């Protein structure tokens, strides 16, 4: 085991500073400012077409903002930041079907690590997602949930300081989704990384988050930032029975429907 393979880099803070994005006449992102705190789980929710995917593409350096800046630990993002890894919704398109699981996980490391370090990191990442011993399989020999675990392992093998996930569990069944939510929370706590998730699922947003960033209808702005104080580790049954969970869930739903009132906010922690 090399020291390098097991080093844990410090989690990164991300700041969105007055981001806007216009495609032709279409203002996809209005004006978004928010802080994604280091070492926490932040979740972006918003109506369809509010520019969530566009925002993630800007954060990950795949797209340029029309105006505004993204700061990754205080540095302006120009291109894909070192220390950022991304998990997409559609594992069937993000994994290479002709490569064994271990080669899929090793793929982003191929140019920057020795063979021995790669093998070490792949083994650790597969273990972290509960797939130790499955490296010789091909993705098509696995269930959807297992394939999404491989996609998460591939991101973890990069030892990210910020893990960005776009609707990561939208393509799996409810039971698998709950298992993957818990897996994400345990990985985040164990590895101390910053996590940013986009989801359409309001229960999922409250269950995962330390911070929820609720976007308005397009052209989107930040409707509200809610800090969720629910204790960790969270539990799919008892956490969801707590009053704070129920209030936060209802408040986010009202914000998305445009029917929230100042009284509703009195039960949740507005950041």
Ligand X SMILES: Nc1ncnc2c1ncn2[C@@H]1O[C@H](COP(=O)(O)OP(=O)(O)OP(=O)(O)O)[C@@H](O)[C@H]1O
If the CB atoms of residues 48 and 259 are measured against ligand X, the closer one turns out to be: 48
51, 81, 160, 168: which one binds ligand X (CB under 6 A)? 51
Q: Which of the ranges 45-53, 77-85, 87-95, 149-157 carries the binding residues for ligand X, by CB under 6 A?
A: 45-53
If the CB atoms of residues 99 and 170 are measured against ligand X, the closer one turns out to be: 170
Indicate whether 54 belongs to the interface with ligand X (CB under 6 A).
yes
Site residues (CB under 6 A) for ligand X, limited to 19-38:
23, 26, 28
Site residues (CB under 6 A) for ligand X, limited to 146-185:
none
CB of 42 to ligand X, least distance (A): 16
179 to 188, 268, 271: CA distances (angstroms): 14, 26, 29
Within 13 A of 142's CA, how many CA atoms are on the CB side? 23
The Cα 210–Cα 226 span in angstroms is 8
Indicate whether 145 belongs to the interface with ligand X (CB under 6 A).
no
CB of 148 to ligand X, least distance (A): 18
First to last CA, the chain: 42
Q: What is the dihedral of CA 42, 47, 52, 53, to 10 degrees?
A: 130
Indicate whether 66 belongs to the interface with ligand X (CB under 6 A).
no
4, 8, 49, 97: which one binds ligand X (CB under 6 A)? 49
How would DSSP label each residue in 168-218?
A: TTTTS-HHHHHHHHHHHHHHHHHHT-EEEEE-S-HHHHHHH-SEEEEE-SS
Within 13 A of 248's CA, how many CA atoms are on the CB side? 32
Instruction: Tell me, by CB under 6 A, how many residues bind ligand X.
Output: 11
Q: Which of the ranges 43-51, 182-190, 251-259, 261-269 carries the binding residues for ligand X, by CB under 6 A?
A: 43-51
Contact residues for ligand X (CB under 6 A)? 23, 26, 28, 46, 48-54
């Amino acid at each position: 085991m090399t020291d390098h393979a097991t080093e844990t880099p410090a989690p990164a803070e991300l700041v969105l500073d007055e981001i806007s994005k216009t495609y032709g006449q279409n203002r996809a992102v209005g004006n978004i400012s928010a802080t994604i705190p280091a070492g926490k789980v932040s979740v972006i929710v918003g109506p369809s077409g509010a520019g969530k995917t566009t925002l993630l593409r800007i954060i990950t350096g795949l797209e340029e903002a029309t105006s505004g800046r993204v700061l990754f630990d205080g540095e302006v993002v120009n291109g894909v930041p070192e220390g950022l890894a991304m998990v997409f919704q559609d594992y069937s398109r993000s994994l290479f079907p002709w490569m064994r699981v271990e080669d899929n996980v090793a793929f982003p490391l191929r140019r920057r690590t020795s063979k021995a370090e790669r093998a070490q990191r792949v083994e650790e990442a597969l273990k972290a997602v509960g797939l130790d011993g499955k490296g010789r399989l091909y993705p098509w020999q696995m269930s959807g949930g297992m394939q999404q675990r491989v996609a998460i392992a591939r991101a973890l093998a990069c030892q990210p300081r910020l893990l960005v996930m776009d609707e990561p569990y939208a393509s799996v069944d409810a039971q698998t989704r709950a298992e993957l939510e818990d897996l994400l929370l345990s990985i985040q706590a164990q590895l101390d990384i910053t996590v940013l998730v986009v989801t359409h699922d309001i229960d999922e947003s409250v269950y995962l988050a330390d911070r929820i960033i609720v976007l308005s209808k397009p052209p989107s702005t930040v409707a509200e930032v809610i800090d969720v104080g629910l204790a960790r580790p969270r539990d799919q049954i008892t956490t969801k029975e707590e009053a704070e969970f129920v209030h936060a869930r209802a408040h986010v739903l009202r914000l998305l429907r445009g029917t929230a009132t100042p009284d509703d906010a009195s039960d949740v922690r507005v950041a």
